[in-house]
């Protein structure tokens, strides 16, 4: 059975981008593949959370994973920091990761632009840790959004480089995966770019209905179409992209027709969109509230997950050590 690995950083709650870019695939894959879904809490350290926040964020994302329907009986659900073997592989891969290729990564360049006062080595080597997370379980498929395409290309490169350097065919080269074939990019509500935690433009699965209404009603649009079948501006196209994932095809068609006939009122579109998002997120939010304080359940999930993930990781580390030439006396 093919192995699947994917993770989400515990730097904030899950938003619609995380859900439709990644989690929706987890739900479809969990019963068909050997799945490892983790919470990237080592990765979250690049933003320097306080110890209290670190733990609360992990608990939150874990509750959200489970509330979305990830079945810890089928998939291995675990915390990255419960598998310290990954840090050893990270160190070993770092010896073959070059400064030039790391500084050229789009996500690194973006971070440098956004947080120039905290350009730490963890940010630079983010793709190396990501590669270690994935190849330590010898995954072949990685469900991710479009924003991770380049990082995954680097994962393949690091896997290939290891194989070439040691003349082995050890690590598979994993590919980005989406059930709908194309990788997804969910846009934000601010007119351009992707929805993201640090972009301040996200709709969270746990946002209350009144918050969702407020955010959607404030979303950027334009002054409206002036001729029939006019091409949409990016902000308007973005609202339709979100509508396509949360609303029924009939609703999307209805508003597209209105747009094409220049009869659309963006206020009506936004009202409908907000209500459809609320219908989608409400049951998840309620479930999160139930799970968040169920310590017994959460502990059981992460303990079982850690045990399975460590077993798989430890086997890889033993083999990698031998390939590299660390030999017992
Ligand atoms: P992150 O929140 O950056 O840790 O990303 C976790 C997962 O969510 C990754 O698979 C990303 O590709 C995916 N993701 C994050 N933002 C978006 C977005 N706006 N559209 C699609 N996928 C996304």
Asked if the structure places residue 109 within a domain, the reply is: yes
| CA of residue 195 to ligand 1 center, whole Å | 8
How far is Cα 179 from Cα 26, in angstroms, rounded to an integer?
10
Instruction: List, for residues 60-96, the tens digit of each pLDDT value.
Output: 999 999 999 999 999 999 999 999 999 999 999 999 9
Whether the per-residue pLDDT at 142 is higher than 90: the answer is yes
258 and 149 assigned to the same domain: no
Asked if the structure places residue 204 within a domain, the reply is: no
Is residue 22 within 6 Å of ligand 1 at its C-beta?
A: yes
Q: Give the domain extent around 118.
A: 3-183+295-324
Asked if the structure places residue 246 within a domain, the reply is: yes
Asked if the structure places residue 129 within a domain, the reply is: yes
Measure the N-to-C terminal CA separation of the chain; round to a whole number of Å: 36
Polymer length in residues for the chain: 329
Whether the per-residue pLDDT at 102 is higher than 90: the answer is yes
98 and 165 assigned to the same domain: yes
275 and 310 assigned to the same domain: no
| CA of residue 94 to ligand 1 center, whole Å | 24
As for how many domains the chain has, the answer is: 2
Instruction: List, for residues 151-180, the tens digit of each pLDDT value.
Output: 999 999 999 999 999 999 999 999 999 988
| pLDDT at 291 (0 to 100) | 97
87 and 42 assigned to the same domain: yes
Whether the per-residue pLDDT at 198 is higher than 90: the answer is no
8 and 122 assigned to the same domain: yes
Confidence bin at 318 (pLDDT 50/70/90) = very high
| pLDDT at 328 (0 to 100) | 86
51 and 133 assigned to the same domain: yes
Confidence bin at 192 (pLDDT 50/70/90) = confident
320 and 269 assigned to the same domain: no
Three-state secondary structure along the chain? Answer: CCEEEEEEECCCCCEHHHHHHHHHHHHHHCCCCEEEEEEECCHHHHHCCCHHHHHHHHHHHHHHHHHHCCCCCCCEEEEHHHCCHHHHHHHHHHCCCCHHHHHCCHHHHHHHHHCHHHCCHHHHCHHHHHHHHHHCCCCCEEECCHHHHHHHHHHHHHHHHHHHHHCCCCCCCCEEECCCCCCCCCECCCCCCECCCCCCCCCECCCCHHHHHHHHHCCCCCCCCCCCCCCCCHHHHHHHHHHHHHCCHHHHHHHHHHHHCCCCCHHHHHHHHHHHHHHHHHHHHHHHHHHHCCHHHHHHHHHHHHHHHHHHHHHHHHHHHHHHCCCCC
Confidence bin at 287 (pLDDT 50/70/90) = very high
Is residue 69 within 6 Å of ligand 1 at its C-beta?
A: no
The residue whose CA has the least distance to atom 6 of ligand 1 is: 8
Average confidence (pLDDT) over 307-313 = 98
| CA of residue 259 to ligand 1 center, whole Å | 29
Average confidence (pLDDT) over 226-253 = 97
The residues that are catalytic are 111, 194, 197
CA–chain centroid gap for 118, Å, is: 22
111 and 218 assigned to the same domain: no
| pLDDT at 190 (0 to 100) | 94
Structural contact between residues 196 and 203, judged by C-beta atoms closer than 8 angstroms: no
CB-based burial, 201-233: b 16+ in 10 Å, e otherwise: bbbbbbbeeeebbebbeebbbeeebeeeeeebb
37 and 75 assigned to the same domain: yes
Is residue 184 within 6 Å of ligand 1 at its C-beta?
A: yes
Average confidence (pLDDT) over 176-200 = 90
Is residue 133 classed exposed, middle or buried when 0-12, 13-18 and 19+ CB atoms within 10 A define those classes?
buried
How far is Cα 313 from Cα 135, in angstroms, rounded to an integer?
9
136 and 226 assigned to the same domain: no
| CA of residue 261 to ligand 1 center, whole Å | 35
14 and 148 assigned to the same domain: yes
For residue 123, how many C-alpha atoms fall within 13 Å in the half-sphere facing its CB? 20
118 and 244 assigned to the same domain: no
How far is Cα 280 from Cα 270, in angstroms, rounded to an integer?
15
Whether the per-residue pLDDT at 54 is higher than 90: the answer is yes
CA–chain centroid gap for 195, Å, is: 11
Asked if the structure places residue 170 within a domain, the reply is: yes
**Closest atom, ligand 1, to C-alpha of 18:** 8
Is residue 185 within 6 Å of ligand 1 at its C-beta?
A: yes
Sign of CA dihedral 154, 158, 164, 170: negative
How far is Cα 175 from Cα 285, in angstroms, rounded to an integer?
32
């Amino acid at each position: 059975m093919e192995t699947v690995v994917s993770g989400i950083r515990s730097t904030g709650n899950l938003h619609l981008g995380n859900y439709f870019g990644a989690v929706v695939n987890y739900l479809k894959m969990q019963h068909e593949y050997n799945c490892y879904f983790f919470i990237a809490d080592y990765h979250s350290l690049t933003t320097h959370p306080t110890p209290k926040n670190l733990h609360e964020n992990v608990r939150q994302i874990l509750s959200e994973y489970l509330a979305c329907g990830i079945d810890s009986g089928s998939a291995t659900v675990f915390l990255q920091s419960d598998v310290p073997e990954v840090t050893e592989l990270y160190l070993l891969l770092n010896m073959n990761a070059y400064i030039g290729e790391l500084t050229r990564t789009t996500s690194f360049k973006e971070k440098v632009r956004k947080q120039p006062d905290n350009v730490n080595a963890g940010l630079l080597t983010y793709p190396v840790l990501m590669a270690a997370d994935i190849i330590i379980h010898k995954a072949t498929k990685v469900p991710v959004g479009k924003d991770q395409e380049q990082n995954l290309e680097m994962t393949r490169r690091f896997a290939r480089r290891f194989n070439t350097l040691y003349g082995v065919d050890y690590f598979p080269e994993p590919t980005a995966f989406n059930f709908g074939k194309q990788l997804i990019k969910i846009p934000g509500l601010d007119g351009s770019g992707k929805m993201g935690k640090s972009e301040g433009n996200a709709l969270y699965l746990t946002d209350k209905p009144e918050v969702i209404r407020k955010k959607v009603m404030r979303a950027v649009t334009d002054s409206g179409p002036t001729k029939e079948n006019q091409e949409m501006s990016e902000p308007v196209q973005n609202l339709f992209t979100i509508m396509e994932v949360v609303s029924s095809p009939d609703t999307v068609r209805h508003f597209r027709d209105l747009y094409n006939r220049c009869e659309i009122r963006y206020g009506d579109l936004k009202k409908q969109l907000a209500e459809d998002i609320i219908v989608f997120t409400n049951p998840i939010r309620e479930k999160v509230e139930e799970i968040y304080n169920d310590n017994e359940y959460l502990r059981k999930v992460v303990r079982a997950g850690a045990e399975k993930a460590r077993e798989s990781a430890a086997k890889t580390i033993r083999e990698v050590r031998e390939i590299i030439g660390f030999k017992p006396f």
